[in-house]
Structure 1
Amino acid sequence: MEQEIQQGTSFIQNQTSAFRKHGSDSIQVFAPATVANVVCGFDVLGFAVNEPGDEVIMRLTDKPGITISKITGDDGRLPLHPAKNTVSVSVQHYLESIGRTDIGLDIELHKKMPIGSGLGSSSASTVAGLFAVKTLLGDETDVAKLLPFAMKGEEMACGNGHADNVAPALMGGFVLIRSYDPLDVIRLPHPKDLYCAVVFPEVDVPTREARQIIRKQINMKDAVTQWGNIAGLVSGLFMQDIDLIGRSMQDVLVEPVRSILIPDFYKLRELAMEAGAVSFGISGSGPSVFAFARNEEIARQITQKLQQHLTGLKIGSQAYVSTINDTGPRVIG
């Protein structure tokens, strides 16, 4: 596991060093979408995927302060005001922490993924912005130190500063948030040949509302079942045991409630499992759903079956197939 973390950190450091040598006053960064909760791990588990993701272009300016000059791909839904946008707010917190509020920054945000999809749209934007400013200023500290600032963006976006999207988007790979107070984040190993099939049904499931319908109290029997499944999933990741991963991905607490917000959720699960899925569940708060598969061909068959069914319901959809993304954000220009 340590080697895996070091490889991810080395990639990020190499990206940073390469940019510093370039000596430019602008940078373009991509940050990936994420699958949070991973069925049984509500608010404590998440992983990054290769696509989709968001892009940020950041430039140094002569006038101190942060401006947002352009946002594309959002249909006008996101604010340009720097005090109201998750990217600029997170970047401002970072600048304050390093005593660099004297500098000027201009930000362009290019949304390359659907908003409100359950794939960590706000976290991808925030992480891209934070990684951009860190690299632009030549800050070579551990990228994980950006996590508290990214969580500030999540708090603004959905009312809760959880880390199960921003941590994997920032650090790459499969991530466990062991504790929030104090913050303790652990990068987990995973089978390299594990594929993720994601389908986003184009219906609206706002994150705030999806959180509000979750039960505030649970009985001990359900809690014990959930603890066992989380432990089984983490064990399966360490042991590279895909069968154990699959049978551990069951949720008796959150999925039974949130599934009612997703059209034909249980039929989609049935179709995915018939197509060879190892497991199936809701990505984040939905409406996106995801399945693990043993290879790319099966993953693509799963997305095809799910999209065909949604088309029959007259619901548009978008699909993505990916391995787990171990690199997190990256400089693309």
Structure 2
Amino acid sequence: MNSVRAFAPATVANVSCGFDILGFAIDAMGDVVEVRERNEPGLQVVSITGDGGRLPFEAEKNTCAVAIQAMLDELGQDIGMEIYLEKGLPLGSGMGSSAASAVAALVAANRLLGNPFEKKQLLPFAMVAEKVACGAGHADNVAPSLLGGFVLIRDYHPLDVIKLHVPDGLHCTLLHPHFELKTSDSRSVLRDSVSLKHSTIQSGNVAGLVAGLFQEDFELIGRSLRDVIAEPYRATLIPGFYEVKEAVKAAGALGMGISGSGPTLFSLSKGEQTVQSIIDAAQQVYDSIGLGVDAYHSAINTQGAFVLE
């Protein structure tokens, strides 16, 4: 085998109350990376499509190459590889674009090398790439993209990642308004400290969301999708946020929040029955403020990244 292609799904990070500790994968879209052997040592990014010419080809700046290099460094090997990236996710969208690229590259390269690592062991290498992409090596995008489902990052020192139960019928709708919001801008508006009151509220909502997932209690899931730490500040950067939130909840959504650092918004619902109503309600709001929007809907992806045979 001298060539392997792999797919990694889009993700929703934070999930309202789970700032930097919760994320889940979706089926709707993702990135594909092909990795090929090359005779000379070193990594070479040969092709990138779907990015509008914006992503770097330099190995030290490209998340695919950075992730693979971290893996090779751990193995103590200097193997030559060519990287071909097919972007299926928009950049700066809040759907885990950089994470999906890194994860797909790792899964492909790991198979090419004969699977020296189990899937979960690839996570630290993906986090190295995330640090290059956005300045912080968080796992709330790369973990669900790699492992699938709902994922809790309980701690980073040492890294402790836990897959959560996904209730049958839990559905996600993504709303991607037509503008880009940089992660650095979204983080710049956050406060360095939170009050005891808000910490208590947030902790209760995280616990409620986790309990709701395991108990398959959709009403509890909906009640727990409340963020009092990041959303109040980030919402000011997203036109129509509160109007859309009110509209989709009236249309049957369990709740709505910001996907990652935005500007994409996510809503959860019980089944697909209300999806079109949710999309229509959001579309009306965006039309009223003159902003285009793309809508995607998907079941929760429980498989995560995989090799394309």
TM-score range, shorter chain: over 0.9
In structure 1, stretches of 5+ residues that fail to align are 1-23
Residue aligning to 1:268: 244
Following the alignment from structure 1 to structure 2, what is the Cα–Cα distance between the partners of residues 121 and 308?
Answer: 27
Q: CA deviation at 1:66?
A: 0.5
Q: CA deviation at 1:140?
A: 5.2
Residue aligning to 2:150: 174
Residue aligning to 1:59: 36
SS in 2 for 1:280: strand
**8 Å Cα contact 1:192-1:323 kept in structure 2:** no
1:102-141 equivalent positions in 2, closer than 5 A: 103-139=79-115, 141=117
CA distances 1:127-168 after superposition (whole Å, capped 9, x unpaired): 000001011111153201011100011101111110000000
Following the alignment from structure 1 to structure 2, what is the Cα–Cα distance between the partners of residues 57 and 311?
Answer: 39
Following the alignment from structure 1 to structure 2, what is the Cα–Cα distance between the partners of residues 291 and 269?
Answer: 9
Q: Normalized per residue, which structure has more helix?
A: 1
Following the alignment from structure 2 to structure 1, what is the Cα–Cα distance between the partners of residues 148 and 53?
Answer: 29
**8 Å Cα contact 2:148-2:304 kept in structure 1:** yes
| Alignment partner of 1:315 out of 247, 266, 291 | 291
Question: Which one-letter code corresponds to 1:166 in the other structure?
Answer: V
Residue aligning to 1:284: 260
1:326 to 2:305 alignment = no
Residue aligning to 1:28: 5
Percent identical among aligned pairs is: 49
Following the alignment from structure 2 to structure 1, what is the Cα–Cα distance between the partners of residues 283 and 7?
Answer: 27
| Alignment partner of 1:80 out of 44, 47, 57 | 57
CA distances 1:46-74 after superposition (whole Å, capped 9, x unpaired): 00000211110111111111001111111
Question: Which one-letter code corresponds to 1:44 in the other structure?
Answer: I
1:192 to 2:168 alignment = yes
Following the alignment from structure 2 to structure 1, what is the Cα–Cα distance between the partners of residues 233 and 136?
Answer: 19
1:45-56 equivalent positions in 2, closer than 5 A: 45-56=22-33
Q: CA deviation at 1:329?
A: 0.8
In structure 2, stretches of 5+ residues that fail to align are none
- The 4+ residue runs of structure 1 with deviation greater than 6 A are none
| Alignment partner of 1:203 out of 166, 172, 179 | 179
Question: Which one-letter code corresponds to 2:5 in the other structure?
Answer: Q
1:163 to 2:148 alignment = no
**8 Å Cα contact 1:292-1:299 kept in structure 2:** no
Following the alignment from structure 1 to structure 2, what is the Cα–Cα distance between the partners of residues 209 and 308?
Answer: 27
SS in 1 for 2:9: strand
- TM (norm. structure 2) is 0.98
SS in 2 for 1:167: helix
CA distances 1:63-101 after superposition (whole Å, capped 9, x unpaired): 111001111111111100111111101100101111221
Question: Which one-letter code corresponds to 1:80 in the other structure?
Answer: F
Following the alignment from structure 1 to structure 2, what is the Cα–Cα distance between the partners of residues 53 and 211?
Answer: 24
Residue aligning to 1:244: 220
